[in-house]
Amino acid sequence: MAKILLVDDDVDFADKLTRWLKGENYTVDTVHSGADALQIVNSFKFDVIVLDWQMPEMTGLQVCEQLRASGHHTPILFLTGLGDIDHKESGLNAGGDDYLVKPFDPRELTARIKSLLRRPTSVRSSILQVGTVCFDPSTLTLTTDSQKLKVTQRECALLEYLMRHTDQHFSARALRDSVWPSSGEATDEAVRTCMKTLRQKLKGIGLEDFIKTMAGAGYFIESKQ
């Protein structure tokens, strides 16, 4: 489950997009100013930033330039009412990855986000597999041998992240920053509670050791099962 940062000063518009993206099974954080965007990006990890161009005090273009100058490589999708080629060129030259002109069908936004998520050299597969375990995040379904397990969206986020980063160790805080919204339930204890429930479900289909823990290092999934 990818984690999206939506930055738009139009609160009503941002709320509608947030509801849409959550309905598409994305984890979404929303802020309404360039300054807040810079602050949250320095504290949490995101897979895509959806960034409004025309904001007061600090424009989306300025936010993009500052992020790129400080070494952030998260894909950026600009939203703007300006559709001429000069603005598009300046946005891409500043480090933007894509450009969507308002008004737009939210389905196009979803398609653009999916395209950006596929861009890394290690192309993301929709079906994840580790050993005999297969997981489809789009249906929240894990399969092993002849058994199937349905997980919740939050359990999906944990499972997908660990399966995409096999042999890497993550503390509860690292998982919180990577897959949890940055507000509300975003606590280390929430991660531990969700992990405990997920492990109990995995144990029920014979996968009690699928997610391991190393003292002082954190949770991990071995690539060789």
Domain with CATH 3.40.50.2300 in the chain: 3-117
- pLDDT tens per residue across all 225 residues of the chain: 788 999 999 999 999 999 999 999 898 999 999 999 999 998 888 989 999 988 988 999 899 989 888 878 889 999 988 766 666 667 777 778 888 888 899 999 999 898 888 765 344 446 788 989 999 887 889 999 879 999 987 888 899 889 988 999 999 988 887 777 665 556 888 889 999 999 999 999 999 999 999 988 899 999 887
Measured CA to CA, the distance from residue 216 to residue 150 in angstroms comes to 30
Which residues of the chain does CATH 1.10.10.10 include?
Answer: 128-220
Phi, psi of 52, deg, nearest 5: -70, 135
The pLDDT assigned to 119 comes to 66
Residue 216 CB neighbours (<10 A): 7
Work out the burial of residue 65: count CB atoms within 10 Å of its CB; fewer than 13 is exposed, 13-18 middle, 19 or more buried: middle
Q: Output the CA–CA distances (angstroms, integers) from residue 175 to 13, 78, 154, 219, in the order listed.
A: 29, 27, 11, 9
Which superfamily does 3-117 belong to?
A: Response regulator (3.40.50.2300)
Q: Is CATH 1.10.10.2840 the classification given to domain 128-220?
A: no
